[in-house]
Every structure is written in structure tokens, then in C-alpha cells.
A = this chain, B = another copy of it.
Amino acid sequence: MATAKRDTYTPESLLTVAVRVFNERGYDGTSMEHLSRAAGISKSSIYHHVAGKEELLRRAVSRALDGLFGILDEPGAVRGRAIERVEYVTRRTVEVLMAELPYVTLLLRVRGNTKAERWALERRREFDQRVADLMKAAAADGDLRTDVDIRLATRLLFGMVNSLVEWYRPQTAQGGGGTDGEQLAETVVRLAFDGLRTSR
């Protein structure tokens, strides 16, 4: 007698599948049917784990947001001169982005068409605001150049950091592809704060 594929998912492993499908098809373009097919289990099995698509989105972006907000409580982000703290936060943001790549990718692509998406956007803006405040503090200390607008510079800094989700791919066990993560984080910080030119 033929039996349906046994549901061996945990909420965690189901989330991994859901995030992959969301990133491939877009959250808006993903139906429970798509998730069911990708996971190889029935829709009712999925509902056994989660209330629906929105819950999966909330869990996925929470993982990205927890990683990002966690940075702001680390000693390097709360102690010392503002410029050192903002460099620390930049470096760690790159590291979290690489460690939680599919989750942060999803967070950055959220469009705001549903309540869960708007909540994610709101939290993301909150994080950006916290970093913008740090940048302002560094400017007030006289450690940032005065001929650029700080709000604009913060946007460009995030633009550079967030662009990683478009091209960064982790190094495989075979050693193929990918860029060394530590080098990448360091390059972002050096480029943004010291610039690419040799000192004149």
C-alpha cells in the first residue's frame, strides 16, 4: 500500500525550506501550495507546524533581526568612542549578514504588502535609525568629515553592506568560490571609513 511521504520536519528545518522558496519566488509570489511541493509534504502537515505563510515570514525575519539587534548590545557597540562603535557595528553587520545570508536576504527584499511584511520593514528601519544615531554621535565628536550629509552617508554605507546579499556566496567545503568573510568585513570598514585612496 502506498503511503504519503512521512513528515520528518521540525519547525526549524521547515523554515529553511520556506526561506529558500520565498527568496526564489518572492514572498508575495509564494503560495502554501509552492511550500508544500518544495517541502514534499502536504499542506495540512505544514499547518501542523505553523499557522501559515505569515508565521513563517515572521520567524524568518526575526532570525535576521535578532542577529542584527544583538550586535547593538555587544560590548564593542556600547563602549568607547562613537566612531569606534560605528566601525564595530559595520563590521559585525557584515558578519551577521554572511552568517544568516538567506534570512537577511529575505528581510531586505520584503516589500510591505502584508501586516507581517510591514512589521519587518518597521523593525528594519529601527535598526537603521540606531546606526544613524551612532553616526551622528561620531560626527558630533568631530570624527566624521563635515562635507558630507550624515543621513546620506548612512544610506550609502548600508547600500554597500546590503549589496552583499546580491553577490556574496559562502565558501564551500571544496574551497570553491566565495570570499573570506573576515577579509570582506574588513574591506567594507576600510572602504567606508578610510576610503580607497592612499593617503595624500
| Interface of A toward B, CB cutoff 8 Å | 26, 29, 83, 142-145, 147-149, 152-153, 155-160, 162-164, 166-167, 179, 183-184, 186-188, 190-199
A87–chain B nearest beta-carbon distance, Å: 9
Q: Please, which residues of chain B bring their CB within 8 A of the CB of A197?
A: 83, 143-145, 193-194
A152 and B187 in contact, given A197-B83, A197-B143, A199-B199 (Cβ under 8 angstroms): yes
Q: Are B144 and A188 in contact (CB under 8 A)?
A: no
Secondary structure of the A side of the interface? helix
Q: Please, which residues of chain B bring their CB within 8 A of the CB of A143?
A: 197-198
A157–chain B nearest beta-carbon distance, Å: 8
Give the complex CA separation of A159 and B4 in angstroms.
Answer: 46
Give the complex CA separation of A199 and B197 in angstroms.
Answer: 12
Q: Are A144 and B187 in contact (CB under 8 A)?
A: no
The one of B158, B186, B196 that contacts A192, using a Cβ cutoff of 8 Å: B196
Q: Are A195 and B191 in contact (CB under 8 A)?
A: yes
Give the complex CA separation of A159 and B29 in angstroms.
Answer: 26
The residue of chain B having its C-beta at the shortest distance from the C-beta of A190 within the complex is: B148
